[in-house]
Amino acid sequence: MLNVFYSDNLSEGYDNINFDIVDLPLIAKHDGVELSTGQKAIVRVDNGKILGIHSNSYNLIKNTDLADKLKPFSQQGYEIERLTNYEDKKFKIELVDRDKQMIVADHLVHPRIVVENSYDGSIPLKASAGYYVQVCSNGAIVGNKFYNINHKHNSKFVNNFEMFDSDYVFEMLENFSLKVWRPSLSNSEYDDMIKEICKGIPKPTDKPSMTELLLNKQYYDESRIIKHQDEFAMFMAATNLSTHGYKQGIPYSYMRIMDKNISEIFLNNIFSN
């Protein structure tokens, strides 16, 4: 049964998903001899329900760990917009702060944090944050996600979700809301920004690189939607290309370079405001 829980109270919402679980080794018996299967089961303690069976390399990340990381946001005005519990096996928590907002492409967007987790291994641990709103059931958004982590549940990952730094995410969202985006860019400012975003990516000496050409195209696609917000449109174009550029033939190494440049040009400037 699909259990969907709605609440604007963080504590009530977490009560729905914070049941006790354990991981137990699966043992096979043959002629009275116990043999290790190399697998383990994720079991709900109060009713014995098996939520997933995995290899021993699977690293259990409990919803209680997620709750501990997200509760500080409730103290800063964030509310649960939607909490979804799929048969106790996978979960999605969406938080939003409706007291802060900006207009993007005629849409009102708010700071938003989304975290997903599973006990059956159907999805990795995911977390994202940014100013955006989903506008289509296929996942299309208006706005931008500028913080993302995506990790499989394996032994290489930190069990208590240490990589999600609540203080850092909150500060980033707060400062992003205070940033004043230039409504227009001169031709020289535009050219300089293209060069800075693509700095470090190999290019021909006598013409723009393919990455620069694709960034130009992506910018004009964004600027047709995000009118009179030139700098934010450039930020949108750059982060889109640094995330999905592989679909257009950009090597992952170039995308990582772009991501670093974007952080220095836009996000680090946010913290200096």
Contact 62, 100 (CB under 8 A): no
Contact 119, 89 (CB under 8 A): yes
Closest CA relative to residue 202, chosen from 258, 260, 240, 247? 258
Domain ranges of the chain: 2-15+59-178, 187-271
Can you tell me the distance from the alpha carbon of 13 to that of 20, in angstroms, rounded to the nearest whole number?
Answer: 15
Q: How many CB atoms lie within 10 A of CB 226?
A: 25
- For residues 150 and 198, which has the higher predicted lDDT (pLDDT)? 198
Taking residues 144-165, what's their average pLDDT?
68
**In this structure, which amino acid lies at residue 81?**
E
**In this structure, which amino acid lies at residue 115?**
V
- For residues 148 and 45, which has the higher predicted lDDT (pLDDT)? 45
pLDDT tier, 161 (very low <50, low <70, confident <90, very high otherwise): low
Contact 261, 197 (CB under 8 A): yes
**Inter-axis angle of helices 230-244 and 252-262, to 10 degrees?**
150
Closest CA relative to residue 202, chosen from 188, 190, 212? 212
* pLDDT for position 146: 72
H-helix or E-strand spanning residue 269: helix 268-271
**Which backbone phi and psi does 97 adopt, to 5 degrees?**
-110, 105
Contact 83, 92 (CB under 8 A): yes
**CA torsion through residues 211, 214, 218, 223, sign:** positive
pLDDT one-digit tens code per residue, 172-189 = 788 777 777 788 999 999
pLDDT one-digit tens code per residue, 208-241 = 899 999 999 999 888 877 777 788 889 888 888 8
Mean pLDDT score of the chain: 82
To the question of pTM greater than 0.75 for the whole model, the response is: no
Contact 259, 266 (CB under 8 A): no
74, 77, 118, 232 from 67: Cα distances, Å: 11, 16, 14, 32
Instruction: Please give the DSSP secondary-structure letter assigned to residue 70.
Output: H
Instruction: Please give the DSSP secondary-structure letter assigned to residue 43.
Output: E
Highest mean pLDDT (candidates 42-46, 79-83, 266-270): 42-46
Tokens of 121: 């291994």
SS3 145: strand
Closest CA relative to residue 50, chosen from 24, 16, 86, 29? 24
Q: Give, in degrees to the nearest 5, the angle at Cα 205 between 200 and 208.
A: 70
pLDDT one-digit tens code per residue, 147-156 = 777 788 875 6
* pLDDT for position 157: 55
* pLDDT for position 160: 46
Can you tell me the distance from the alpha carbon of 168 to that of 146, in angstroms, rounded to the nearest whole number?
Answer: 12
